[in-house]
Amino acid sequence: MKEKGKIYLAVPHGMCAGVRRALATADQLLEHFPKPVYALHELVHNNYIVGRLRTRGMVFVETLDEVPEGAVLLFSAHGVGAAVEQEAHRRKLRVVDATCPLVKRLQLAAARESSPGEVLILIGHRGHPEVEGVLGRADGRRVFVVGSAAEALQLPEFPGEVPVRLLAQTTLSSREVDEIAAAALSRCPQLEIGPGVCYATANRQAAVRLLAKRAPLVFVIGSPRSSNSNRLREIAAGAGARAFLIDGPDELPEPELREASVVGVTAGASAPGELVEATLKRLLDAGFGPVEPVISAEEEMTFRLPPLP
Ligand code: SF4
């Protein structure tokens, strides 16, 4: 067992403005409407939050067929395509849209051509609800989804007069997006860069890079399905730290803790503050400390809540 030293804590970490807005909306619905209240897909990709909402009367569904006519339905922070919105309307569901405004911005960019005949290149992970929602807004347009620089190099060549716009999923690694964008640019020099990685993702990634310089062992609090949490773990590992994605303090790995003298902690944009506090407490109890912040940026972003039905 090594002598224990500091806990470096990345700042910012944890919940972003979009997730806080989605949760505050869910709270209002659970307070003011008869249960159950339905949510299409996980409201945010965090097991603890989804479990807590479930016990309070929220039912998570994967398709609209599972929602009875006239029920209250919440769209998640990841957003949905236009067809889903229309189907919900047809089924007379009382929809509350918790799509993050920064995802909405991406959807609007996919829905509206900034010049006639514009082709879209979307950097993202196929199957992720945000990507599906953005694709579902780009009806009738030519869209290419690319997940890597190698895929971007396989893009067809577009004649110079064809306008091409690049969008990116909000929760990707900003450095990886830059690399993919550079590869896409080499295929089509007329490429225009549209919205992509959001402020919260970029700030948390900058902070975890600093963290990994100080702490050889880094814990990222977040659930396995959380895209931005996975990116934080990869970035810490890429910067040379041993990095673990943990859902909470119960997943702190004992053997690594015994051997560590200094640790780093951060949390994905969907991880609640309670889990960060509980993880820090467990580390303090194990002899680590004090906690020292490693700051990349101050955040003050807030979003207005969506209207209730
Ligand atoms: S990670 Fe960014 S885009 Fe996603 S909910 Fe948070 S603020 Fe919005």
**DSSP β-bridge partners for residue 85:** none
Residue 177 has pLDDT above 90, yes or no: yes
Any ligand 1 atom below 6 A from CB of 23 = no
Task: List the residue whose alpha carbon is closest to atom 2 of ligand 1.
Answer: 198
Q: How many CB atoms lie within 10 A of CB 161?
A: 7
Establish how many alpha carbons lie within 13 A of residue 161's alpha carbon, considering only the half-sphere containing its beta carbon. Answer: 1
Return the structure tokens found at 121: 């290149």
Q: What pLDDT does 115 receive?
A: 86
Domains delineated in the chain: 7-15+199-295 (3.40.1010.20), 17-100 (3.40.50.11270), 102-193 (3.40.1010.20)
Q: How far apart are CA 18 and CA 15, in angstroms?
A: 8
- Out of 42, 97, 102, give the residue to mutate to test ligand 1, the one with the largest number of ligand atoms within 8 Å of its CB: 102
Q: Determine the distance separating the centroid of ligand 1 and the alpha carbon of 19, expressed in angstroms.
A: 7
Q: Determine the distance separating the centroid of ligand 1 and the alpha carbon of 200, expressed in angstroms.
A: 6
Residue 1 has pLDDT above 80, yes or no: no
Instruction: Look up the pTM and report it.
Output: 0.95
Q: What is the mean pLDDT of residues 152-179?
A: 95
Q: Determine the distance separating the centroid of ligand 1 and the alpha carbon of 103, expressed in angstroms.
A: 7
Task: List the residue whose alpha carbon is closest to atom 7 of ligand 1.
Answer: 18
pLDDT band at 2 (very low <50, low <70, confident <90, very high): confident
Any ligand 1 atom below 6 A from CB of 269 = yes
Q: Are 3 and 36 in contact (CB under 8 A)?
A: no
- Out of 171, 223, 231, give the residue to mutate to test ligand 1, the one with the largest number of ligand atoms within 8 Å of its CB: 171
Write down the number of H helices and E strands in the chain: 11, 13
31-89: pLDDT as tens digits? 999 999 999 999 999 999 999 999 999 999 999 999 999 999 999 999 999 999 999 99
State whether residue 59 is helix, strand or coil. Answer: strand
260-294: pLDDT as tens digits? 999 999 999 999 999 999 999 999 999 999 999 99
